[in-house]
Each structure stands twice: as structure tokens, then as C-alpha cells.
Amino acid sequence: MVFRWHVAAAAETLRNKEIYDMLLDFKGALSAIALYVSATNGGSYNKDNELYKCIRKIEVKDGTAVKHSVTGAQEQALNAFNRRETPSESNRETPSYGQAQVFYADFAPQFADPNWWLDLRKYKNPTLYVDWNLEEVRSAGADAFLTNTGAITIALLLDEEPEKLSYRGYLRAEETRAWTTAASGEEPVRLPTDWPIRRILVRAYAQNKDPTARITKLKMDCDKGKFIPWEIDTPYLAKWVNDALVYKPEWAKYLYRKHGESYELPLSRIHDIQTQSWGATPRIISSDVFWNGYPALNLVDHAGAPVAAEENQVVRARGELFQHTMMLPFGQPLLVEPFFPAGLYSEIILKCTQGASGAAASVVTEQAATE
């Protein structure tokens, strides 16, 4: 099989708020869709306003049949677990600079996998939808993105004449449920049973809060206790999955800050942070209290005086739970066939034990689909 990237759209303008759509009128095997999104900062600054927050949903549908449907943050979490690295980014808060991020809608465990792909020849009107809101965090202006500066480039990793000799199906990822966590109790999430399950992602986001304190335990219950493939406290799950994947999430961000400000990272349970000033004047710089992804910046001059006006810095962090997301994997070895045979059961409930209120929680189920 011969896969190659086809550029289907080049720097097309996005309105401040729209559902961008593209008919995937190509024939053949679709391994992945790359979405390259960009926008321009206002003239004052653009703090804690990354582009993944502006993408409400990335979907591929054929009529009402969903082939892929996740948020921008969920898409990045899927990409990171797939490739054992965080997606390539340009995150800058500096006035008038551009930002750019890449998202991949994957239909295979790896690029150009000969066994897994979405067969576009089988569908009448396969369409990509991107639910976009440039003003999701703040209204367009000097302290946010500039109005109507959003742009999108789309490339398809496609084999136009695929061979089906070793075809297994395609990976279908969809947000199964979203809710706001309560202070206690179990939140039951009914999982799909129509195809085998490759993995389940559980996200619990609240600023400066540990996701494993918002959802403390996960239990996967098949047919009311007939089989329980997972029952685990989430702090242990976070450690075990990262070690099993040999994956320590990292993130880089260009700040525009003054002394004493806190800034947000899409990581939690952070192990270390390196912060450097890259302005013309040397500074003494560090970050404090960073375990849950919301550290404070210490920025002083060489006389020890706090810097009272915004300057440019770069921060690099390493930790766990990229995009505040945990994963329940299947397969032996990890994430490799055979996957969990969900079709053997009439009902599968993921019981999420809640430890604190106010987190934006969601479950994404990735299946090995064959239709």
C-alpha cells in the first residue's frame, strides 16, 4: 500500500464562530486527517488562550453515522497516547504573534498502517466538521485573538488504491459522555458494545486541580458483575500507564508575564519545570507550586526587585496526564490486538467515582470498527 498526504485545504479563513465543513470526496483508504489551525494574538497579550480550547468538536460523519467525534483537547490526548509524545505546537502569548496547533483525526494506530483505515469508497457523503469558536475563552480583541484571524489547513493521509488483504477495520473515537463532577458518588457511563474497544479515555479538568482527585476510581462492569476488566484507583492508573507506554508528557509554552502571575499548562502531576527569560535584559526566574498545572512565576531583576511589566519567557514542563486525561488501555501487549470483545456483553458500565465537584469530565471510547 502507498499512502501519501493530499492537501485538501490551504490556509482557509475561519470566521470567529462557525462549523467548518468539507466533503471528503476522495476514494480510497484514509489513515488520518491532519488539521493545522492558526490565529493571531491581539496587540496587548493573549494569556492562557491556546487554540485547542477554541475547537469544540472535530467530527467525521456520513449522514448521521459518526466515524469520529471528539473535542480539541480530547483529540490531542488521543494523539499523545498514540504516538507517546505531545502534539507539535506554537503556543505564544506575545502581542501580535501568531499561534498554531496540529490535530490528527486518526483512523489507525500509526500513520499509514496497512491494516487499519477508513474506507471512503463505502460511504455516500463522508464529511469533516470542525466546530470552531475563536472567542471560546475571551472575546476577540487586544487581550485575546484578533477577530477573523483564524485559519485552517487540512491534509489527508490517503491511499487511493488500497489492498484489503490484511484489512482489520478502522479506529472509531467518540465522546461517549460529558458531565460536571459532583462532590461524591459514582457517575455511571454506558459504553458502546457494537465493536471491540481499544481504549477508554477519561478526562477531568478543573484549573489547578489534580484529575485523580476529581475522579478517584474507575470500575468497568460488564453485565452487572459478570466480568470486571478494570477496577483501579486513578493515581495508580496514571503511574502505571505512563510507565507501560514509556511516556512522560512534555509541553512548551512562550509566556508574556510579569512577576507573581500564574499560568496554565495542559498537564497535571508535574515533575519538573524549566523557565527561561528570553528578553534583552537578564532575569532571575523560576516557577513555584506547579504540581497541578497552574504554577506561579517568580521574575526578579539581578537586584532582587520584582519585574512589574510583562516580558517574554519560555517554559518547558514534564509530568503526567496530558490534557488532564487518564486512559484505560486494552490489548496484549498494550494497545495491540486483540482488543476488548465488548460485543460479548449486553451492557458495559464505566463507574467513575467522584472525589470533588466542578471538574469538566468526559469519557471517550475508541473502538475497532468494521462497518
Asked whether residue 328 falls in the same domain as residue 315, the answer is no
What CATH number should be reported for the domain holding residue 199? 2.60.120.20
Asked whether residue 233 falls in the same domain as residue 305, the answer is no
Asked whether residue 45 falls in the same domain as residue 144, the answer is yes
Asked whether residue 209 falls in the same domain as residue 303, the answer is no
Q: Structural domain of residue 196, as residue ranges?
A: 170-247+322-369
What pLDDT digit, counting tens, does each position of 51-83 carry? 999 999 999 999 999 999 999 999 999 999 999
Asked whether residue 60 falls in the same domain as residue 81, the answer is yes
Strands annotated E in 181-266: 186-191, 197-205, 215-222, 227-233, 250-257
Asked whether residue 307 falls in the same domain as residue 338, the answer is no
Each of the 371 residues of the chain gets a pLDDT tens digit; together they read: 799 999 999 999 999 999 999 999 998 999 999 999 999 999 999 999 999 999 999 999 999 999 999 999 999 999 999 999 898 778 999 999 999 999 999 999 999 999 999 999 999 999 999 999 999 999 999 999 999 999 999 999 999 988 877 899 999 999 999 999 999 999 999 999 999 999 999 999 999 999 999 999 999 999 999 999 999 999 999 999 988 888 889 999 999 999 999 999 999 989 999 999 987 788 999 998 888 999 999 999 999 999 999 999 999 999 999 999 999 999 988 899 999 999 999 999 999 999 999 999 999 999 999 98
What pLDDT digit, counting tens, does each position of 262-277 carry? 999 999 989 999 999 9
The number of folded domains in the chain is 3
The answer as to whether 164 is a domain residue is: no
The answer as to whether 165 is a domain residue is: no
- Dist. CA 139–CA 146, nearest whole Å: 9
Neighbour order of strands in the sheet with 186-191: 186-191, 348-354, 215-222, 227-233
User: Which of 101, 135, 159 is a domain's end point?
Assistant: 159
What CATH number should be reported for the domain holding residue 56? 2.70.9.20
Asked whether residue 100 falls in the same domain as residue 63, the answer is yes
The single-letter DSSP state of residue 122 is: G
Q: Does the predicted TM-score (pTM) go above 0.75?
A: yes
User: Which of 126, 159, 192 is a domain's end point?
Assistant: 159
Asked whether residue 237 falls in the same domain as residue 273, the answer is no
Half-sphere exposure of 109 (CA within 13 A, CB side): 16
Asked whether residue 207 falls in the same domain as residue 221, the answer is yes
Measured at the alpha carbon of residue 272, what is the angle toward residues 267 and 278, in degrees to the nearest 5? 95
Preceding omega of 338 cis (within 30 degrees of 0): yes
Asked whether residue 342 falls in the same domain as residue 211, the answer is yes
